[in-house]
């Protein structure tokens, strides 16, 4: 049995995989059917509904999910790593800066913030047009916009720097 903590916009979910394909999210049991639709694209059948996601690995703990035009960053840690992270955060505080990058190639249509603006976790910071769809890019953290690296109307490559939040 594997126990993880998934964090989306500061909301934590306890996830337990029991090895039989079922998993428990905060006490509710799910039995989804996963299908890899294409590279970095997953289709999930759950309760007779199909959900399609584009997924990218940002680093060892963070994953970007594109779902219905919304981009979300999810941090996934083992329960032990999450406990250690919380202890370190409480003891030393958090002064991390978060760099928001383009999750895919596209045209930067709009930047919703300016340098010095306060921003909340989950708030839209930019709109990127990719594959003829407008995709909102959301801040993974609460903080202040420290720097803007890209201009509206610019074509960005995947992982191009957009905004630094501190």
pLDDT in tens, 25-59: 999 988 888 888 788 888 888 888 998 989 988 88
Q: Which helix (H) or strand (E) holds 70?
A: strand 70-78
- pTM score, two decimals? 0.56
Strand-pair partners of 28: 25
- Domain spans of the chain, in order of start: 2-92, 98-165
Task: Give the CATH architecture of domain 2-92.
Answer: 2-Layer Sandwich (3.30)
Report the distance separating Cα 46 and Cα 34, nearest Å. Answer: 9
Task: Give the CATH architecture of domain 98-165.
Answer: Beta Barrel (2.40)
Angle at CA of residue 153, ends 152 and 159, nearest 5°? 75
pLDDT of 92 reads 56
Here the tokens at position 31 are 């039995």
């Amino acid at each position: 049995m594997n126990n993880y903590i998934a964090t989306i916009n500061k909301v934590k979910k306890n996830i337990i995989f029991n090895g039989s394909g079922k998993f428990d999210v905060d006490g509710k049991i799910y039995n989804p059917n996963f299908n890899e639709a294409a590279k970095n694209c997953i289709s999930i059948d759950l309760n007779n509904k199909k959900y399609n996601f584009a997924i990218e690995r940002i680093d060892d703990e963070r994953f970007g999910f594109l779902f219905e035009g919304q981009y979300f960053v999810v941090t996934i840690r083992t329960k032990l790593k999450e406990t250690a992270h919380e202890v370190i955060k409480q003891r030393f505080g958090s002064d991390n800066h978060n760099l928001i990058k383009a999750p895919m190639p596209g045209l930067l249509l709009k930047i919703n913030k300016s340098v010095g603006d306060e921003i909340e976790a989950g708030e839209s910071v930019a709109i990127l047009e990719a594959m003829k769809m407008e995709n909102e890019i959301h801040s993974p953290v609460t903080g202040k916009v420290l720097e803007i690296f890209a201009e509206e109307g610019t074509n960005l490559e995947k992982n191009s720097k957009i905004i630094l939040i501190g």
